[in-house]
Amino acid sequence: MAGRSLGDRQRSEYPVKALAGRAAEVLARCGLLTALEAADRGTDRVRVVAYHRVDEYDAEPDLDPGLISASPADFRDQMEAIAHHYTAISIEQLAAAHRGETPLPPRAVLLTFDDGYQDFEAQAWPILRELGLPAVLFVPTSFPDVAGPGFWWDRLHAALMRTDEPRLDDPIVGRIELEGHEARRGAHRILRTHAKSMPHAEAMAWLDGLIEGLAEVPSLHRVLGWDALRRLASEGLSVCSHGSIHALCTRLSKEDLSVDLVESKLRIEAELGAAAPPAVIAYPASASNSTVREAVREAGYEMAFGGRRGIDHMPLDDPFEIMRLPVHRYGTALFRAQLRPVVSGLGRVLIDGRERRRA
């Protein structure tokens, strides 16, 4: 829409987050955040920060902009805050603490990135390396080096933005108007939510037909290849599982889930060899339940990262549902504020109530 930047749209779409951001800026300006951080000597908590993409908001208009967690400039600010006020730990350190071998350092933060997009290497990793911060990249392991069409949420976004159709008539979701950018983003939200409620194969077939009916979409495959992942691993990155086909674990049959989990674990071990980190997984789209957690344990994983917002204590309540702190284009003050336990608890109520869980 003319005259309204993407940032403006974000602010109006998420008023609670905008308000929280302003409150956090006040806390930062009066020095309270720094004081809280300096006073925190606890070694019993682990903050797991969850990013998806780090890129300029208009870098790739065909890709779903909802997956951009931070611009490179905001990301640098956030990582400098981590370097100054917290201790970034590796997945090996978390695994050792979980096994009771070595306690965590005070103010421990684990930095994680989902989906394995190329912008991780281009934008995030140079900043992490410069600041000496370890990180974990969760990769859906059937995607690297496959000349596929890309992730469904990106293809759906591109189809909705490119289509000449004024509305969508679908036997499953009914009629959805497509006039204007906000209506099309609204359509993406509705279709995305519905797709995530269906068995995986059924959802993919439905989306393929829907996308084909809307517009021609070029390949949007942007996942790093294994050579790049090995290079990053040799530079210190931990490359871990995000499932194999990025299916929601709750939307696969028991047999298919087991195959997906085992294949993904074996693929990482085969591709990375001695550089393979401890076997951990981040659930695609944060979807899990007790059956999924049991399947993950049976497949030989040691820990799994879920979607509940919050900060876990050591020893971990449930190593197969470790809480994370998602970043959704936060200013640095709000980013720092949510690393405080009281604020992250509030965020679970206020922000997660408004923002749907993402991929």
- From 167, 149, 145, 169, select the one nearest 158 (Cα to Cα): 149
* Per CB under 5 A, 260 contacts Zn ion: no
Residue 52 CB, nearest approach to Zn ion (Å): 7
Pairing state between β 108-114 and 45-51: parallel
Could you say which of 115, 260, 312, 321 contacts Zn ion (CB under 5 A)? 115
The pattern of x and - marking residues 269 through 288 that bind Zn ion according to CB under 5 A reads ---------------x----
Binding mask 73-112 for Zn ion (x = CB under 5 A): ----------------------------------------
Minimum distance between the CB of residue 114 and Zn ion, rounded to whole angstroms? 4
Alpha-carbon distance of 89 to 295, in angstroms, equals 27
Shortest Å distance, C-beta 115 to Zn ion = 4
Rule CB under 5 A: is residue 359 a binding residue for Zn ion?
Answer: yes
Q: Quick one: 137 or 359, whose CB is closer to Zn ion?
A: 359
20 binds Zn ion (CB under 5 A): no
What's the rounded Cα separation, in Å, for the pair 359 and 356?
10
At its nearest, how many Å lie between Zn ion and the CB of residue 296?
Answer: 15
Nearer to Zn ion, 158 or 223 (CB): 223
Pick the binder of Zn ion from 74, 114, 154, 302 (CB under 5 A): 114
In angstroms, give the least distance from the CB of 132 to Zn ion. 27
Residue nearest to Zn ion (CB): 359
Q: In whole angstroms, how close is the CB of 216 to Zn ion at the nearest point?
A: 25
**Joined tokens for residue 125:** 């990793």
- According to the binding rule CB under 5 A, does residue 154 interact with Zn ion? no
Residue with Cβ nearer Zn ion (76 or 329): 329
With CB under 5 A, what is the number of residues at the site for Zn ion?
4
**Residues in the site for Zn ion, rule: CB under 5 A?**
114-115, 284, 359
